[in-house]
Amino acid sequence: MRILFIGDVVGRSGRAIVYKRLPGLIADWKLDLVVVNGENAAGGFGITETIYNELIDAGADAVTLGNHAWDQREALVFIERAPRLIRPANFPAGTPGRGAALIDTKNGKRALVINAMGRIFMDALGDPFAVVERELAACPLGASADAIVVDIHCEATSEKQAMGYFCDGRASLVVGTHTHVPTADHRVLPGRTAFVSDVGMTGDFNSVIGMNKEEPLNRFLRKIPSAKFEPASGPATLCGLAVETDDTTGLAAKVAAVRLGGLLEEAQPAFWE
The residues annotated as belonging to the active site are 68
Report the C-alpha gap between 225 and 219 in whole angstroms.
6
Beta strands in the chain (DSSP E): 2-6, 33-37, 62-64, 85-86, 100-104, 110-117, 147-153, 173-177, 187-188, 194-196, 238-245, 252-260
The DSSP 8-state label assigned to residue 267 in this structure reads B
The DSSP 8-state label assigned to residue 228 in this structure reads -
Backbone angles phi, psi at 108, to 5 degrees: 80, 10
- Cβ atoms of 81 and 55 within 8 Å: the answer is no
Report the C-alpha gap between 31 and 272 in whole angstroms.
10
Which residues lie across from 237 on neighbouring strands? 203
